Amino acid sequence: MQPNGKKDGNTHTLSVTVANKPGVLARIAHVFARRGFNIDSLVVSASVEGDFSRMTITATGDPGGLEQIIRQVNKLVDVIHCTDHTGEDIVLKELALIKVHTGPAARAEALQIAAHFGAASVDLTETSMILMATADSEQIDALLALLKKFKIVELVRTGKVVMARGEQPT
């Protein structure tokens, strides 16, 4: 992993602006599948303009096929634009909710580990807690590795979201 969330040449982070219409996601996913790319992470959310959505797609596959995928996605009806952000100066983050089994004796240690990673406790019971972490994927992976000593009961990750730094559009 390089700075700014950049990975090796086979992992790509794309942003796709699309019209809010049924079937758009399925058509885009089909383009990736036809080209042998695995979608590792997919996040769809509303954009500032209510008629459009932003997709952030992290996919793994041959770099040579990515240009073809971008051209094909850009040709799809209801796609405004598709951009590869691999190698760009970006902010790349992910959110995780982690439910950990901890009794009173282990709670302090779990909270110390969470604090080290900037995670917060968002729910607490006698036997468990839910931690919320917002970080790059590698930091969340490291947090999970340390929390394995307690029993991780449940895990939900949002997938990666990306935004270009400065005034450059994403």
Per-residue model confidence as pLDDT tens digits over 8-67: 558 889 999 999 999 999 999 999 999 888 899 999 998 887 899 999 999 887 778 888
Q: Structural domain tally of the chain?
A: 2
The answer on 96 and 84 residing in a single domain is no
Do both 20 and 82 map to the same domain? yes
Residue 119 domain boundaries: 92-164
Strand extents, DSSP E, 20-102: 38-46, 52-60, 79-84, 90-101
The per-residue pLDDT for range 108-167, each reduced to its tens digit, is 999 999 999 999 999 999 999 999 999 999 999 999 999 999 999 999 999 899 998 988
Could you tell me if 18 and 78 lie in one domain? yes
Q: With residue 118 as reference, give the H or E element that holds it.
A: none
Residue 149: what pLDDT? 94
Nearest alpha carbon to residue 57 among 20, 82, 22: 82
Q: Is residue 170 part of a domain?
A: no
Q: Map tokens 């959505």 to a residue.
A: 53
User: Is residue 57, in this structure, part of any structural domain at all?
Assistant: yes
pTM (whole model) above 0.95? no
For residues 135 and 132, what is the distance between their CA atoms, to the nearest angstrom?
10
The answer for 108, left when phi > 0, alpha when psi is -120 to 50, beta otherwise, is alpha
Q: What are phi and psi of 39, to 5 degrees?
A: -85, 110
| Domain final residue, candidates 67, 88, 109 | 88
CATH number, residue 130? 3.30.70.1150
Domain termination residue (choose one: 29, 55, 88) = 88
